[in-house]
Amino acid sequence: MAKQGQADRFHQGTMTDGWRWFGAHPAKKRGRDGWTFRVWAPHAEAVSVVGDFNDWEEGAAPLARKGEIWEGFLPDLPVYTSYKYAVRGADGQVRQKADPYGFHTETRPATASKLYDISGFKWTDGAFREKKAKHPVYTSPLNIYEVHLGSWKKRGNGDFIDYKDLAKDLAAYVKDMGYTAIELLPVTEHPLDDSWGYQCTGYFAPTSRFGTPKDFMWFVNHMHKNGILVLLDWVPSHFCKDAQGLYEFDGTYCYEYSDPNKREHAAWGTRVFDYGRPEVKSFLFSSARFWLEEYHIDGLRVDAVASMLYLDYDRQGGAWTPNQYGGHENLEAIEFLRELNTMAFQTDPSVLMIAEESTAWPLVTRPPDVGGLGFNLKWNMGWMNDMCHYLKLDPYFRQYNHKDITFSMMYAFSENFVLPISHDEVVHMKGSIVGKMPGDYDNQLRCLRGFYAYLLAHPGKKLLFMGAEIGQWHEWDSDGQLDWYLLDRPENQKLRKFFREINAFYKKTAALWEVDFDWAGFEWLVPDDNHNNVVVFLRRDKKGRDLMCAVNFSPNTYTNYRMGVPPYRRYVPVFNTDDPAYGGDGFGDSEAVMVEAVPSHGKECSAAIRIPAFGAVFLRGEGTFPRPRKKQQAKELEKT
């Protein structure tokens, strides 16, 4: 009855732990140790297990049909045995398929699954997970370092570094640099390096490029022991058409839509999951829960959500099928995402479920019971596009594009946003982050410091792709490694020092993260100074303490920049991107700036500060402004 119950859940689309039942698992039968195998192939004529142990001979180790599921037991097979399923379709063709629920795989270019027992790893991250549960992301600092494991760093001979050595180096680096989390481009097994993991074949297998599944568990555990959250990019939006993968698994459309107007993403050369098929939902729910539960992953960034939501996404010439109401919304995908997020929060109430959603779809980060998709964070792609456009402009023309740095506040609190400067911004001839800035390299470094200060000060959580913190010259090369040699140069050493110290400042300054998703944490002081390319605003913590953030996107220095301010006694400088220790000239206020009884910008009092070219300064409001007598106020006005 238990097995029948499992099958029922699978066919109903409610199975969320499918990896425990499907795939290959150690077992004992009639006193012999071996492995049970179980696979879904609804239209197959026959399924057998093939591998090194039987010379890949179809039919030598047949599985028995139990409805749409095939299962069997094979004795005496050692761990790491390579295997596939030989699936004979109704057309008579035999397709050798990797195990959809396999835990381990051969290393590309080989494509078989490998027998592996994931049980027994000794986790030591309990204290970290308890602490995480007590600090909700909404009122905590979140500064994500996005990493592609294959190209962050390589061995001297160009080989990949394994999970354990990567964990040691990366944890030490990320901790030293002050990031609070890493986000990994997909580690799910994938055949082609150039896909960066976004076209995967192993939804339950960490790529073997860097080691075994337990090696990856060690990686996550080590990150947690160093206080670092681990987020994974996860791809339920499409899958590759490699022969060994999910593609036409039993000779029919199993995992993909049968409707040709839904089935393919032609531009990506991939197939689209059938979100209306219960068995496919069970597969994807199980994959998401698997990483959260078995690998202690802290969150999933769900890739290409927009492509799931719209039936006409990137479909040319009207080749798409409307929903039952005639609209272009994919109702099945919407329901899938809501159920996915509900399941994820039941698995781990502190999980981060992050949507890469590039449109204005409403309520992405609101609960399903109020019509939302149920994510708790969303990448702010509009802000990213505006900023990349602005940063590449000649400074003279920025005055005509001032909305690029202010428009985001029109919708900043409509969702719980992450501000992403990701891998997508440094590939395909887009150049590096520093390379987007105007002027020579020294000037570009100055611009990068000012921009990063603006990113940390803007409402929302933060994400930056690896390499920007060392002033990476070249755009990202997924086949190589970061330009670590730049750290032989004093100016790049100073840049890394800047990133280290401003990240530390961010973490200790509650005004920059405690109220990220509400107007209570933000106030414009100067939003409209397009002629000077300056914005000034306040960030505020829960106790109402203010941090003034002034950012200058022009090449001019401002020695007496006046703005209306709340009635503090003074503003004390607490961070300056132009500090000589970071490669700057030291321009900025070194002493407290006194507030004066001079009306400005609609406020009764004001302050005048110094702002460096292409730089940013942060000042903390202190004390209470003494209410001036009328005669004193008149004299102050005469001075101006």
Give a yes or no: residue 594 inside a domain: yes
What's the whole-number mean pLDDT along residues 456-465?
Answer: 98
Q: Tell me which of 86, 114, 142 is where a domain ends.
A: 114
Mean pLDDT of the chain: 95
The range of the structural domain enclosing residue 26 comes to 2-114
* Cis amide prior to 109 (ω within 30 degrees): yes
Contact 35, 73 (CB under 8 A): yes
Q: Tell me which of 114, 147, 166 is where a domain ends.
A: 114
Spatial separation of the C-alpha atoms in residues 118 and 613, rounded to whole Å: 55
Share of the chain above pLDDT 70, in %: 97
Q: How confident is the model at residue 638 (pLDDT cuts 50, 70, 90)?
A: low
pLDDT one-digit tens code per residue, 481-496: 999 999 999 999 999 9
**Tokens standing for residue 617:** 């300064």
Give a yes or no: residue 146 inside a domain: no
Contact 481, 470 (CB under 8 A): no
The CATH number assigned to the domain holding 86 equals 2.60.40.10
**Tokens standing for residue 46:** 């026959």
547 pLDDT above the threshold of 90: yes
Instruction: Give the C-alpha distances (Å, rounded to integers) separating 435 from 354, 419, 583.
Output: 28, 19, 17
The CATH number assigned to the domain holding 557 equals 2.60.40.1180
- Residue 145's DSSP bridge partners are 182, 464
- How many structural domains are present in the chain? 2
Contact 454, 407 (CB under 8 A): no
More confident residue, 87 or 638: 87
**Tokens standing for residue 399:** 């005055």
Q: Is 303 a catalytic residue?
A: yes
Q: Looking at 250, 256, 274, 303, which residue is catalytic?
A: 303
Spatial separation of the C-alpha atoms in residues 268 and 195, rounded to whole Å: 10
Helix (H, G, I), strand (E, B) or coil at 53: helix
pLDDT one-digit tens code per residue, 233-254: 999 999 999 999 999 999 999 9
pLDDT (0 to 100) of residue 627: 72
637 pLDDT above the threshold of 60: no
Q: What is the pTM of this model?
A: 0.94
639 pLDDT above the threshold of 80: no
29 pLDDT above the threshold of 90: yes
Give a yes or no: residue 34 inside a domain: yes
Give a yes or no: residue 274 inside a domain: no
629 pLDDT above the threshold of 70: no
Q: Tell me which of 92, 114, 136 is where a domain ends.
A: 114
pLDDT one-digit tens code per residue, 260-312: 999 999 889 999 999 999 999 999 999 999 999 999 999 999 999 999 999 99
Give a yes or no: residue 295 inside a domain: no
Q: Looking at 99, 274, 356, 415, which residue is catalytic?
A: 356
Share of the chain above pLDDT 90, in %: 94
Closest C-alpha among 387, 507, 511 to residue 447: 387
Weakest mean pLDDT among 9-13, 317-321, 356-360: 317-321
pLDDT (0 to 100) of residue 430: 83
Give a yes or no: residue 563 inside a domain: yes
3 pLDDT above the threshold of 60: no
Give a yes or no: residue 174 inside a domain: no
Helix axes 278-294, 2-12, angle to 10 degrees: 110
pLDDT (0 to 100) of residue 71: 98
Give a yes or no: residue 256 inside a domain: no
